[in-house]
Structure 1
Amino acid sequence: MPELPVRIEVVPGAGLEDRLRAHLPAPAVVTVTCLPHHGPGAAVDTAVRLAEAGYTAVPHLAARSVAGRSELAGYVTRCRDAGIRDVFVVGGDAAEAAGPYAWSGPLMEDLAELSGGALRLGIAVYPEGHPASTDQELRRTLLAKQVLASWCVTQLCFSPDILRAFVPMLRDGGVTLPVWAGIPGPVRISRLLRLAGTIGVGGSVGFLRRSAGGAETGSVVRQLLSSASYDPAPLMTALDGAGYEGIHLYSFNDLAGLERSGLARLPRA
């Protein structure tokens, strides 16, 4: 398995900090999602508490869920006061924009200005494309955003072939940002298959189904019935030498499973 640094993504929720302390103690690097029903306030609140508890916290900010520049300024102040140095910026899945930020580009511009460059901005990249954008649109917006960005994270992906080819493809297209490979942690395969269907992951779903039906693990149906968990270790091993800066593990808050897997003990960013 490659000795790449690891970040763990979590979702705000009741008891999260207690479970983190139990299964993933500080100073682990933890990124905090910003889902539409939580909003950026919950992501920043959680990240600030984690930073105060000794974690390296990275809140996510979804542009379409931020009501305006003054709200954004408040988040910037709270992050700086808590010693938070990185923020992950996404467009977000809200059906309607809460304010002037219909996509992540204008939010990044305001973040850079409001923070005076003190916050490093991360952005999302899509090895299998995005259901709402063409490849040409994704390439154009990525080149525009990398002027303000410091790093990027791939969308959830299960395929080693797709991930191995992705960094060279970015480099050929003029993208120079450090890239973190976004891969699933050891969570139930049934849950991963449901999630993959909602976020537009393409070839990876077929790879996941084939992997789940291997000789040692039994059929997909058997795995789903037994609530078998996905093992990310082979995928992480396949990333060795592929040009990634680190691993971004989507935990889906299964922190006990993450601890059992041993992946939480890998080097931290």
Structure 2
Amino acid sequence: MTPVSTPALTGAALLLRDFSLEMTGKDTPKLEAAGESVPEGTRVNVTYLGNEDLPMRRTAARSARRLGFVPVPHVSARRLGSPRDLEEFLAALRADGTGQHVFVVGGDPAHPHGPYGDSLSVIRSGLLRKYGVRGAGISGYPEGHPQIPEAALWAALDQKAAALAEEGLTGDVITQFGFDPDAVLDWIERLRERGIGLPVRVGVPGPAGVRRLLSYATRFGVGTSASIARKYGLSLTNLMGTAGPDRFIHALAERYDPAAHGEVKLHFYTFGGLGATSAWIAGFRAQEGPK
């Protein structure tokens, strides 16, 4: 029998292979409802927010696993009150079979609740490997961070990438969402120039109202100049409208060069709209797939 050749993915379809999603602990019913539109094996990040508790986080991660996805629970360093809190969480994930991959982030609190002031201290604790974690994601900020100087962000990335290797963990970099594809790709080029070869998952906001997107952008310190907003497809004169990331993804695909940028995928921030985001991705992938 002559083997059937599979068309090579190009452009936006290449970036959309093996995309990942983000959900909160409260989004479990939405994940159940959206399950059929999300490919099996999709990585689903489960947040670690202040208004969530351990049972809620465990339920969300278990649901993702039961539905055929790969759960990626978040570990929020500054929300951990003690090493015991971290061990309790990791032990619960191991017991549930949901803890092989995690995403380690500093977290929102201005002051640590315990001994972990940043994600690096969690990685270096040795507890991830002790409890069966094989890979850990870390944060990247192509458009900067409102409270952290650029030099400090780069130094932290260097240290975290090195710490993952020292701990024998695989990893990837998940970026904060943004609206400027040129800034994202320029940042990835700088990342590669620094010798960091980890896969990058570019943060993309799911389809949402313009007012809501701008609100999140302000909250997370993402630049939203008028020119960037127009490039993305946001209308600053029609805040009642909606916008999807199609322009952003197409622009990203036009400049994406695997030889220069390495392995790049997309990570969708759903902002509570997990169903709408999943449906949008399914339609966009069908449109952009091999012809």
C-alpha root-mean-square deviation of aligned residues, in Å?
A: 2.6
**1:221 alignment partner in structure 2:** 237
Could you say which residue in structure 2 is the equivalent of 1:8?
21
Deviations 1:156-179 (A, max 9, x none): 111111112121111122322211
Q: Which residue of 2 aligns with 1:87?
A: 102
1:122 and 1:205 mapped to 2: Cα distance? 32
Q: Give yes or no for contact 1:12–1:32 (8 Å, CA) kept in 2.
A: yes
What 5-or-longer segments of structure 2 have no aligned partner? 1-11, 165-170, 287-291
Work out whether 1:249 is the aligned partner of 2:268: yes
**Which of residues 251, 254, 265 is equivalent to 1:238?**
251
Q: Is the 8 A contact 2:47 2:73 kept in 1?
A: yes
Structure showing greater relative contact order (alpha-carbon pairs closer than 8 Å, 6 or more residues apart): 1
Cα distance in 2 between the residues matched to 1:159 and 1:211:
7
Q: 1:174 aligns with which of 195, 214, 235?
A: 195
Pairing partner for 1:184 from 205, 210, 225: 205
TM-score (norm 1): 0.84
State the shift of 1:119 in Å. Answer: 2.6
Q: Post-superposition shift, 1:205?
A: 7.1
- Distance, in Å, in 1 between the alignment partners of 2:35 and 2:207 is 19
Distance 1:264 1:70 in 2: 44
Question: Residues 75-154 of structure 1: matches in 2 within 5 Å?
Answer: 75-84=89-98, 85-110=100-125, 111-115=127-131, 118-149=133-164, 150-154=171-175
Residues paired across the two proteins, number: 258
How far apart, CA to CA, are the structure 2 residues paired with 1:198 and 1:124? 17
Distance 1:87 1:264 in 2: 28
**1:49 and 2:63 are equivalent in the alignment:** yes
Structure 1 residues 192-243: Cα deviation after superposition (integer angstroms, max 9, x where no partner):
1001101111256751255446xxxxx5333x22xx3222122122233242
Secondary structure of the corresponding residue to residue 174 of structure 2: strand
Q: Secondary structure in 1 aligned to 2:154?
A: helix
SS in 2 for 1:61: strand
In the alignment, structure 1 residue 156 sits paired with structure 2 residue 167: no
> Do the aligned partners of 1:158 and 1:207 also contact (CA within 8 Å) in 2?
yes
State the one-letter code of the partner of 1:236.
I
Q: Deviations over 1:4-41 (max 9, x none)?
A: 32101112216334333365475432111222222566
1:68 matched residue in structure 2 = 82
What's the counterpart of residue 4 of structure 2? none
**5+ residue gaps in structure 1?**
214-218
| Contact 1:40 1:66 survives alignment (8 Å) | no
Percent identity between matched residues is 29
1:62 positional shift: 0.7
TM-score of the aligned structures, taking structure 2 as reference length: 0.78
Partner Cα distance (1:144, 1:123) in 2: 11
Supply the AA of the counterpart residue of 1:92. Answer: G
In structure 2, how many angstroms separate the alpha carbons of the residues matched to 1:121 and 1:166? Answer: 21
**Cα displacement string for residues 76-99 of structure 1 (whole angstroms, at most 9, x for unaligned residues):** 223233333210010000243221
Q: Which amino acid aligns with 1:124?
A: S
Alignment check: 8 A CA contact 1:126 1:155 kept: yes
Query: In structure 1, how many angstroms separate the alpha carbons of the residues matched to 2:130 and 2:283?
Result: 34
- Which residue of structure 2 lines up, in the alignment, with residue 216 of structure 1? none
Distance 1:202 1:192, change over 3 A: same
Q: Is the 8 A contact 1:156 1:182 kept in 2?
A: yes
**Distance in 1 between residues matched to 2:118 and 2:285, nearest whole Å:** 34
